[in-house]
């Protein structure tokens, strides 16, 4: 048995990064376009359909800068993800990259980050979807679900409480069923929903610009750098889709080419759409209205109703949000299951998490586990407690990806790299700096929640994971210590 220090620092070998793996494998069924739509599907929606109402009160009109800061940090990270995903095209994304570059202990730290990132993101988005679903019911049929079935029992400030957020639970259940059916089926449904989503957001931009007033951007920097960084921290989780692309590395045809192209293509689409919608939205109404109660659950729909005096445009946006935010939940749940699959195959979790259904070629057991846990969080925890918790996991993961680039360029100079980060080593260093800046704007309670979760995951690793690791049993040859 290896000593403790050897266990903590041992690294997964590069002997067969593109060939057969120890343990179960997934079918390669996804192409570049489907993968790009995965990235857009996981990203566009969370940041625009309801986080705008959270970020504008912090940053004011300078929320444009907040989106740019988050976008620059995500763009730099995307370059790093593209290099690592093309070099190590396996399930697990940041967790797997870190296992290869920094060792087992850091891999578990990052596992804690990405499990928090994906699990909480799926829950937060499902809660937001619930608000648009009720808005759509009200617009179409003149009624909505009672508060008891639309809100969690956990209070947040003066918000309404209920028994359970039933629409959020149902959404997670539907996504779980679709994921169990298979990755290619999920990708087709996601692509359709993404195209609907982009069309609806284009409609919002066109209508909102009819009420545009330049004076709403006066006193642009009144919130100061603190407000900008706080808003950027809240917004940043919406770039989680870029990470979701790399979790699919093992199910992609020609991953060395497809992964970098899909990541960069998704980034361009996402940043462009975010800036357009934010610009049109801020210019269309007084800033104080973003904090109003009526905009907290379905903000973009309410903005259009206020502009046009008609419920039709708002109903279209609400319908688009109900359809398209489904895709965000779907892809974030997908990413969570693939990270758990990689951890199960490495025996950092019980083998059952890596079991693959022989018919659908999907990790059915861990998909069901993820669905149950996420639905419980979505049903009983308000979204306000979830936003920043997602951001901290995403930011730490993005930082570690950049650091992994620096390490692997030195320790594995001969590793095949179909895509290389431009501007090395400046780009990875700037990526870390940008992520640290956004992290500095997160609230103290977010750090407390993150620290408690990290302690739980590391306790599991020291008590169970390190003794059952595939590297501990010697199933991997060539492990580096």
Assess whether pLDDT exceeds 90 at residue 456.
yes
Count of helices and strands (H, E) across the chain: 19, 0
**Cis before 376 (ω within 30):** no
Assess whether pLDDT exceeds 60 at residue 475.
no
| pLDDT at position 19 | 45
Assess whether pLDDT exceeds 90 at residue 409.
yes
Average pLDDT of span 175-192: 82
Q: Which stretch of 347-351, 391-395, 454-458, 466-470 has the lowest confidence by average pLDDT? A: 391-395
| pLDDT at position 369 | 95
Instruction: Decide if 466 contacts 111 (C-beta within 8 A).
Output: no
Q: Which stretch of 14-18, 61-65, 266-270, 313-317 has the lowest confidence by average pLDDT? A: 14-18
Assess whether pLDDT exceeds 70 at residue 1.
no
Q: What CATH homologous superfamily does 37-469 map to?
A: Amino acid/polyamine transporter I (1.20.1740.10)
For residue 357, give Cα distances in angstroms to 23, 218, 361, 374: 13, 58, 5, 22
Give the tens place of pLDDT for each residue, 29-45.
777 888 888 788 777 76
Q: For residue 254, what are the contacts with CB-CB under 8 A and spacing of at least 6? A: none
Q: What percent of the chain has pLDDT over 70?
A: 88
Q: Which two tokens stand for residue 222?
A: 């009144």
Assess whether pLDDT exceeds 90 at residue 173.
yes
Instruction: Decide if 126 contacts 382 (C-beta within 8 A).
Output: no
Assess whether pLDDT exceeds 70 at residue 158.
no
- Report how far residue 471's alpha carbon sits from residue 468's, in angstroms, rounded to the nearest whole number: 8
Cα torsion at 74, 362, 339, 169 (round to 10°)? 80
Which residue in the block uniquely carries the two structure tokens 């608000």? 131
Q: Which residue has the higher pLDDT, 481 or 296?
A: 296
Instruction: Decide if 469 contacts 104 (C-beta within 8 A).
Output: yes
Cα torsion at 92, 94, 98, 101 (round to 10°)? 100
Give the tens place of pLDDT for each residue, 355-373.
888 887 888 999 999 999 9
Q: Which two tokens stand for residue 324?
A: 């398209």
Q: Which two tokens stand for residue 448?
A: 């407390």
Alpha carbons within 13 angstroms on the beta-carbon side of residue 67 total 26
For residue 281, give Cα distances in angstroms to 6, 52, 135, 334: 54, 9, 19, 31
Q: For residue 203, what are the contacts with CB-CB under 8 A and spacing of at least 6? A: 313, 316, 317, 320
Domain boundaries, the chain: 37-469
Give the tens place of pLDDT for each residue, 296-342.
555 777 788 888 888 787 788 778 878 877 888 888 898 889 889 98
Give the tens place of pLDDT for each residue, 259-289.
788 888 888 888 888 889 889 988 888 887 8
For residue 139, give Cα distances in angstroms to 170, 203, 257: 21, 18, 45
| pLDDT at position 116 | 85
Alpha carbons within 13 angstroms on the beta-carbon side of residue 130 total 29
Length of the chain: 481
Q: Which stretch of 193-202, 233-242, 410-419 has the lowest confidence by average pLDDT? A: 233-242
Angle (CA) 10 11 13, round 5°: 130
CA quadruple 95, 249, 478, 480: dihedral sign = negative
Assign 108 a pLDDT band (cuts: 50, 70, 90). very high
- In this prediction the pTM is 0.79
Give the tens place of pLDDT for each residue, 226-265.
888 888 877 776 676 667 777 776 777 777 778 788 888 8
Give the tens place of pLDDT for each residue, 132-144.
788 788 878 888 8
Which residue in the block uniquely carries the two structure tokens 């907040």? 66
Q: Which residue has the higher pLDDT, 375 or 471?
A: 375
Instruction: Decide if 165 contacts 152 (C-beta within 8 A).
Output: yes
Instruction: Decide if 270 contacts 40 (C-beta within 8 A).
Output: yes
Q: Give alpha helix (H) positions in 156-250.
A: 166-181, 183-208, 224-236, 240-247
Mean pLDDT across the chain: 82
- Report how far residue 114's alpha carbon sits from residue 121's, in angstroms, rounded to the nearest whole number: 10
Instruction: Decide if 231 contacts 70 (C-beta within 8 A).
Output: no
Average pLDDT of span 173-177: 92
């Amino acid at each position: 048995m290896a000593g403790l220090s050897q266990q903590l620092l041992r690294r997964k070998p590069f002997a067969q990064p593109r060939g057969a793996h120890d343990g179960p494998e997934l079918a390669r069924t996804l192409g570049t376009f489907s993968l790009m739509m995965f990235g857009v599907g996981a990203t566009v929606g969370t940041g625009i359909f309801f986080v705008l109402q959270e970020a504008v009160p912090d940053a004011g009109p300078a929320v444009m800068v907040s989106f740019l800061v988050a976008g620059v940090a995500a763009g730099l990270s995307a370059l790093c993800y593209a290099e690592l995903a093309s070099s190590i095209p396996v399930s697990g994304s940041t967790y797997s990259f870190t296992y290869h570059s920094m060792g087992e202990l850091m891999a578990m730290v990052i596992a804690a980050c990405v499990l928090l990132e994906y699990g909480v993101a799926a829950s937060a988005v499902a809660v937001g979807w619930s608000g648009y679903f009720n808005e759509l019911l009200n617009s179409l049929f003149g009624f909505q679900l009672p508060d008891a079935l639309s809100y969690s029992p956990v209070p947040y400030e003066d918000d309404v409480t209920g028994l359970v957020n039933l629409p959020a639970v149902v959404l997670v259940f539907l996504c779980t069923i679709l994921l169990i059916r298979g990755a290619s089926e999920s990708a087709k449904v996601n692509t359709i929903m993404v195209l609907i989503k982009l069309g609806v957001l284009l409609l919002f931009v066109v209508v909102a610009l009819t009420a545009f007033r330049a004076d709403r951007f006066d006193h642009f920097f009144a919130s100061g750098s603190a407000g900008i960084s706080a808003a950027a921290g809240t917004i940043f989780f919406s770039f989680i889709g870029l990470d979701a692309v790399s979790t699919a590395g093992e199910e992609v045809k020609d991953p060395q080419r497809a992964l970098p192209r899909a990541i960069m293509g998704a980034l361009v689409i996402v940043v462009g759409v975010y800036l357009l919608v934010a610009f049109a939205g801020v210019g269309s109404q007084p800033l104080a209205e973003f904090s109003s109660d009526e905009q907290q659950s379905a903000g973009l729909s309410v903005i259009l109703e206020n502009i046009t005096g008609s419920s039709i445009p708002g109903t279209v946006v609400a319908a688009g949000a109900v359809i398209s935010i489904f895709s965000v939940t779907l892809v974030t749940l997908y990413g969570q299951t693939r990270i758990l699959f990689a951890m199960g195959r490495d025996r950092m979790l019980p083998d059952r998490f890596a079991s693959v259904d022989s018919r659908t070629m999907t990790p059915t057991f861990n998909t069901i586990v993820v669905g149950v846990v996420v639905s419980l969080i979505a049903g009983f925890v308000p979204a306000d407690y979830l936003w920043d918790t997602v951001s901290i996991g995403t930011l730490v993961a993005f930082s570690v990806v950049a650091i992994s680039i620096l390490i692997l360029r030195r320790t594995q100079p001969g590793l095949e790299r179909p895509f290389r980060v431009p501007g090395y080593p400046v780009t990875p260093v700037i990526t870390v700096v940008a992520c640290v800046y956004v992290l500095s704007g997160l609230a103290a309670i977010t750090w407390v929640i993150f620290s408690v979760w990290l302690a739980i995951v590391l306790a599991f690793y020291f008590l169970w994971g390190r003794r059952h690791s595939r590297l501990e049993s010697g199933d991997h040859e060539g492990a580096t210590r």
